[in-house]
Structure 1
Amino acid sequence: MISFDDFLRIAEAPLHTWPGALCVAAVGVVFAIGVHRVGSRILKRIARPYPLISVVLRYIDTPALVLLIILALGFVLFEAPDTLPFAAVLRDLATVALIVALTFLAARSAGAVGEAIVQAHPLDTENNLHARRIHTQARVLARSVMVVIVIIGFGGALMTFPSVRQIGASLLASAGVAGLVAGIAARPVLGNLIAGLQIALSQPIRLDDVVVIQGEWGRVEEITGTYVSIRIWDQRRLIVPLQWFIENPFTNWTRNSSQIIGTVFFYVDYRMPILPLREELERILEHAPEWDGRVQVLQVTDATERSMQLRVLVSSFDSGLNWDLRCRVREGLLNFVQAAYPQYLPRTRADLSSDKEHVPHTEFAPPLERAGPAPKAASTANTAADPVASRGERSGPDPSAHAMASTTQQPPVDGAGNPALSRES
């Protein structure tokens, strides 16, 4: 009768050579794949009524398969005798691979939990403020946990080597200097990690938030462990470090609500009546699907030397609809003014006539030698800024002087019109 020791001796016999070890390893890999498939089908069937658990199982499917294969290979290597060539080196590599597989599985599990929470709160709702808050917290916290898991796994993999353990012991002996150097070297990474936790808890920004950063308008598309991706309106991407949002001011249009008020400015002539424009604005908004019915205002907000400025305020449920509504209102009011009041569009006035055309024509008598005393000088300066002082000059010469000049004897003239000389000369 074969005892248990005899069975172990027979099972270990192929491991003394590499061909036998490879055959046993192949059998172990096939067994691991079979266990994974059977277990995956059973768990998926059990979790079918539970969508969140189904998401987690789908995420950890591949890491679980890799872990089972590495466990099977590691079992073969650790059961192989020390006389097998390269057995010790392969055992160290199997240990590192096992730590990497466990890190991969843990990181994917954290990501799966975050994704399950995200799918449980869809964004395609009318008021998705709460859903966006949950999305931001789940994604940022899950990625922060994944970063911590990767750092721990990397450190654990390095600690499997004896030389690295000696370096770690020497660093612990000088912990003050090592901590200072590590802190300075890892400041950007640690700063972004802490900033990510702050953003997840305080939430100055959330996924799908509308923000304005350094003059660029866009939506928060992705929040990673180190940066935020902003999708700008022209399909560009603005990449901003997480720490920037903690240290710099920015504009968030959807911080408390997605509802927003938009502004439309346009200019018309001073003679343009305002009441028809208000009636046209009401008619436009009644037929605008982008308007939410909250705000409808048209006011004269400024007056320049050429025209007056009109400001229109309209509201919408979100910024995208408000942009379309502003364009609709601007086009509608301009079309209305062009069709009904084209003469009241902004225009530039210029006076191109000369000064002579504005002065009435007056027949002036030629200068005369007045026999009377000279008139008194005006007490006010005769300037264009003093119309009272120049009123006498603008009304023409004195009528009495003109009558006196008509009765004065004139010298005789010859046939050519020249004064005739007296005979005594």
Structure 2
Amino acid sequence: MVQKEEILKALSEIIDPDLHKDIVSLGFIKELVISDGTVSFAIELTTPACPVKNQFKMAAEKLVGELDGVKKVHVTMTARNARNDQSENGLKGVKQIIAVASAKGGVGKSTVAATLACELHDQGYKTGLLDTDLFGPSLPTLFNITKPGVYQRNDMMIPIEKDGLKLMSFGFLLGDSPAIMRGPMVSGYMQQILLKVDWGELDYLVIDMPPGTGDIQLTLSQTIQVDGAVIVTTRAALSLVDVARGILMFERVGVPMLGVVENMSHFICDNCSKEHYIFGEAKAPGERFGLDTLAQIPLEPGRGRNMEGYKSNDLNKSLVENVARALGKVTAEKIVPPEVRQEGDTVIFHWQDNKEWKINAVHLRSSCRCALCVDEYSGEKILNDEDIPKDIKVESTSPLGNYAMAISWSDGHSSGIFPYNQLEELSK
């Protein structure tokens, strides 16, 4: 009879393309049972929308089926439920929560959140969309819901369903009435819509967050366990200035960053098909902050219209695939950040494997890519190196997920985010 060790050895040939490890060492194999030549097991993925799940299943069936003594192979594909034991509320049946945020209004965040939710639903995943903008809810307009008729069951609000997609919004509760209220009342409403909606079983809940980085956003981030955040921005200078604040807010409350969606990135001429970058062709926002660019969405007539009768397209499919890959990475990967110290005029980043990056402090400060140091339109450097004190010191550092380090300096500059790949290049 085939042995468990033989099966695991065969399955260890399957490598996750994003995590670069085999699925056995990653702990994906669950509930392995061998009975009369029939082998059954589950492959537990980090996220339901894993883009390579079908390849994993076919490879597993083939590799195990070729072993001596194996007559049948039953493979079940599952996904981790990230909710913890504290989820005795409407979120307890939700596998993963994705926050879609922007540090500034007017960048198309709500449209991106609705597109992400619609595409996930279109691909067959049980999906919900929660609009938490108390002062400017967009979901009723996006889905043309004028009389929602929200009702309660067992002291829980029941979401509205549109063709199987579950929806909830402050706009359903307040109607057209203006929301005029102070902080404590706002927090109470936020707690209610976060915890008192019965979503049932969902693969994904997409949360359309209010714009900004204030108390409301902090309350939301700290009330529930968010699995990853997507920042929506444009290349416009006013939008990019606030992106760093949004990234820092999520990192400081323990919400992993998934990446950046660059909305209104460009428009494509209908005569010559040339791409025109109306906000300039400087580095993409994701690259500047060390994050993946999940999508570059052009200005086009069909975007931002009513989401009824949603139709999928290649760009939206790519957005979902990139978000799913990013979720898989942050769920499985836990990088220990480097220790940072300064010796004289050298800043040293010491990694757990004893690798060190040594960078001159003035050179490091000069290499900052933030909006105060680099022109947002041209990408040209505006920081004058002569203004950097020769004895400049690192005051404090904050690791940002698996991708970057935020550094505050003795000259008062504190908005610099240095991607690890940039630091590695500077150390060479």
State the TM-score, normalizing by the size of structure 1. 0.21
Structure with the bigger percentage of helix: 1
Higher relative contact order (CA 8 A, sep 6+): 2
Structure with the bigger percentage of strand: 2
State the TM-score, normalizing by the size of structure 2. 0.21
